[in-house]
Chains A and B, each alone.
Chain A
Amino acid sequence: MANIDAGGDGGGKKGPGVKKAKKLSTTVDMTPMVDLGFLLITFFIFTTTMAQPTAMNLYMPKDVDKPEDQNKVKESGAFTIMLGKQDVVYYYEGLDPTQIKTATFKTIRDEIIRKRQNTNPEDLVVIIKPTIDATYKNTVDILDEMTINGIKRYAMVDISPQEYQLITITESAAGIK
């Protein structure tokens, strides 16, 4: 064990008849202290939360009553992403929902990058429409994708019944439940 050895052999011989005092050991046994120390370390390791949670900004558009107050989107710049069941993503360019294509969260990034390169930056607007089957994780992932790819203008809006119907048809054709 850790030694604290303060006593030496000093003192020397004392004459005959002087009784030699019994030398006491000055070594302190540190085992219990070390045990306790490690117990505490283990405790703190298990209870600690190292990764500080971060915050992600989400700005929602205000509800407008009149349709003429809404911002208009140019057909060339619109890119709509819809989130469906089973982490599948559907997207279409422009304003015609019948042109929907299927993608996953891995492939959608390439599509966003491609769209960004081919479009005038001032016109590009990404519209995110989660369906009722999407999860919160999907929503955060796709919002994250906007940050990752440097998309400045995007909005999260409700899906229209027509689009939802198209997704349902595509899903049943692809066998996604």
Chain B
Amino acid sequence: MPSVKIKKHAPVNDMTPFVDVAFLILSFFMLATKFKPEEPVEVTTPNSVSSQVLPEKDAFMVSVDSKGRAFVSVDNPSFRQVLIQNLNDTRKLGLTTSEIKMFVNAPSIGVPFTQLKSLLAMDPEQAKKVAQPGIPCADSTGGELYYWIRDALSAYSGRKLNLLIKADNATKYPDFKNILNAFKKNDQNKFLLVTTPEDAPAGTSLYETRQKQIYGDK
């Protein structure tokens, strides 16, 4: 009697859909990702209900860490170039061309003017390891931060410069006040504080306005 022959197969599992999904996720992350910018200090920003998107262009950012050290960072390399040349002229820093180039490539700076030359003369890898003491700004005239802001404003004259302040949760108010003071000395009174988004608490007036915006008046 002819018996029914069953073909013997290794148990094959078709993984094609699985691989498809995996690569779909991969491409999503590759396109959606934006690498964290390199920062000399870790700053955890507080939450706020503000929904305004942080401007990325034309930004002059002062970061303050929990110990009150101030760092300056500028997004635009050509603007950085003008800024450091201005500072070099007005503060007589005596930077060489290669040191200026180092500054243009540096993510952010937090040293007094006296140490700036030696920091920029260092090898980039070595410079990363240096503990930067922060830009002095603790006196009533705004300290050296005043000059940074003044020269940034003159380098950006005619266009609107977004003044960002990014401070840590644990930063003491007087340290923050010093930064504001340095801006105020330059007649700058409008700032953007960098925060992490959070939802408006339920039942409050802001919450109701936002619900109305989404669902319309009912």
Considering the chains assembled together, what is the distance between the CA atoms of A143 and B172 in angstroms?
16
Q: Is the CB of A58 within 8 A of B36?
A: no
Residue in A50, A54, A138, A143 whose CB lies within 8 Å of B52:
A54
Question: Are A56 and B50 also in contact (CB < 8 A) when A2-B14, A3-B12, A139-B176 are?
Answer: yes
By a CB distance below 8 angstroms, the chain A residues around B51 are 54
Say whether chain A's binding surface is mostly helix, strand, loop, or mixed: mixed
Q: Is the CB of B35 within 8 A of A47?
A: yes
Interface presence of A45 (CB below 8 A): yes
Considering the chains assembled together, what is the distance between the CA atoms of A62 and B185 in angstroms?
10
Give the size category of B's interface with A.
35 or more
B166 to chain A, nearest CB (A): 8
Q: Is the CB of B15 within 8 A of A34?
A: yes
Q: Which residue of B lies closest to A38 (CB)?
A: B22
Question: Are A54 and B53 also in contact (CB < 8 A) when A47-B36, A48-B32 are?
Answer: yes
Interface presence of A63 (CB below 8 A): yes
Interface presence of A60 (CB below 8 A): yes
A46 to chain B, nearest CB (A): 10
Interface presence of B46 (CB below 8 A): yes
Residue in A60, A63, A132 whose CB lies within 8 Å of B173:
A132
Interface presence of B126 (CB below 8 A): no
By a CB distance below 8 angstroms, the chain B residues around A60 are 180, 184, 189-191
A150 to chain B, nearest CB (A): 4
Considering the chains assembled together, what is the distance between the CA atoms of A61 and B172 in angstroms?
21
Interface presence of B104 (CB below 8 A): no
Say whether chain B's binding surface is mostly helix, strand, loop, or mixed: mixed
Q: Is the CB of B195 within 8 A of A140?
A: yes
Of the candidate stretches B83-91, B144-152, B196-204, the one touching chain A is: B196-204
Q: Is the CB of B15 within 8 A of A150?
A: no
Q: Which of B38-84 contact A (CB under 8 A)?
A: 45-55, 64
Interface presence of B206 (CB below 8 A): yes
Considering the chains assembled together, what is the distance between the CA atoms of A168 and B200 in angstroms?
33
Considering the chains assembled together, what is the distance between the CA atoms of A134 and B194 in angstroms?
18
Q: Which of A57-103 contact B (CB under 8 A)?
A: 57-63, 83
Considering the chains assembled together, what is the distance between the CA atoms of A108 and B197 in angstroms?
21
By a CB distance below 8 angstroms, the chain B residues around A133 are 172-173
Residue in A40, A50, A59 whose CB lies within 8 Å of B26:
A40
Q: Which residue of B lies closest to A31 (CB)?
A: B15
Q: Is the CB of B52 within 8 A of A55?
A: yes
Interface presence of B160 (CB below 8 A): no
By a CB distance below 8 angstroms, the chain B residues around A143 are 48, 193
By a CB distance below 8 angstroms, the chain A residues around B157 are none
10 sample A-B contacts, Cβ–Cβ < 8 Å, listed by A number: A1-B15, A41-B29, A47-B33, A48-B34, A50-B32, A55-B193, A58-B192, A135-B173, A143-B193, A148-B201
